[in-house]
Amino acid sequence: MAKPRRPQPLLIRITHWINVPVLAILAMSGLQIFLAYPFFGPRGAEYDWVPLSGWMPPEWIRAGGWLAGARHLHFAFMWVLVINAAIYVIYLAASGEWRRRLLWRNQARQRYNRLQRAAYTGALVLGIAEVLSGLAMWKPVQLHRLTWLMGGFDGARVIHFLAMLGLFGFVIGHVIMVIVHWRKFPEMITGGKREDA
């Protein structure tokens, strides 16, 4: 049999903690970019149904200082997110960890309950939506097929914003659960005691 596995394997801990500042920088620089035009839909046919349309994000949740600075931050840290996420996803798939963490058919000896697995699966789906809609907005003409899939540039912008709100909701729920189950928290740093997987 394989060596007993820690509850939180090293690669999962590393990618998790890299994600914390990277997601914060991307969200905050994204809000700085959003501030330049806090509306959705093409000119003359705006979408008035998108939540927070017209909202001016306050300075303390923005990063980059101004539009060009925020765009440079966003287009630099997007690569860190993509590389980090690729390592995470490849590891999940190769190690079989996905069976314990993602929403799939029920199996014996689950470490995480259905709600937890639904949340982790949802966060992963939102992250993929962020990357795809972000690429569509970055290169709407050159990546025209992807942009079409996202409902055009303006559709991609809505998806990008809503997925960010979704990820924000996930982080809030996640942090609350960590506070409630604070005894589990050190595992995310040390990895925890090896157990039979």
Partner 1 sequence: MRRRDAFRALAGLGLVACDTRKPHKGALGAVERFNENVEGVLLSDRAASEDLELTPLEAFPGYHVAPAIPQVPHDWYLTISGMVSKPLKLSLDDLRRMPRIDARIRHHCVEGWTAVADWGGVAISELAKLAGAKETAYVEFRSFDAPSFESRGYWSSWDRASAFHSQTMVAYQMNGQPLSAKHGAPCRLYGSVKLGYKLVKYLTEVNFIDRRTGGYWENKGYEWFAGV
Given 39, 91, 112, 170, the residue binding partner 1 (CB under 8 A): 39
Backbone dihedral region of 194: left (phi > 0), alpha (psi from -120 to 50 degrees) or beta? beta
Minimum distance from CB of 58 to partner 1 (Å)? 18
Residues numbered 8 to 27 that lie near partner 1 (CB under 8 A) are none
The answer to whether residue 42 forms part of the interface with partner 1 (CB under 8 A) is yes
The answer to whether residue 153 forms part of the interface with partner 1 (CB under 8 A) is yes
Minimum distance from CB of 20 to partner 1 (Å)? 15
Tokens of 24: 């914060």
* Closer residue to partner 1 in complex, CB, 73/167: 73
CA distances from 128 to 36, 71, 86, 112, 188 (A): 25, 20, 10, 22, 23
CB distance 32 to 65 below 8 Å:
yes
Stretch that binds partner 1, among 12-20, 28-36, 107-115, 162-170 (CB under 8 A): 28-36
Q: How many residues bind partner 1 (CB under 8 A)?
A: 34
Q: Return d(Cα 51, Cα 162) in angstroms, integer.
A: 8
Q: At what angle do helices 152-180 and 114-138 cross, to 10 degrees?
A: 150
Return residues touching partner 1 (CB under 8 A).
33-34, 36-37, 39, 42-45, 63-73, 75-76, 79, 139-144, 148, 152-154, 157
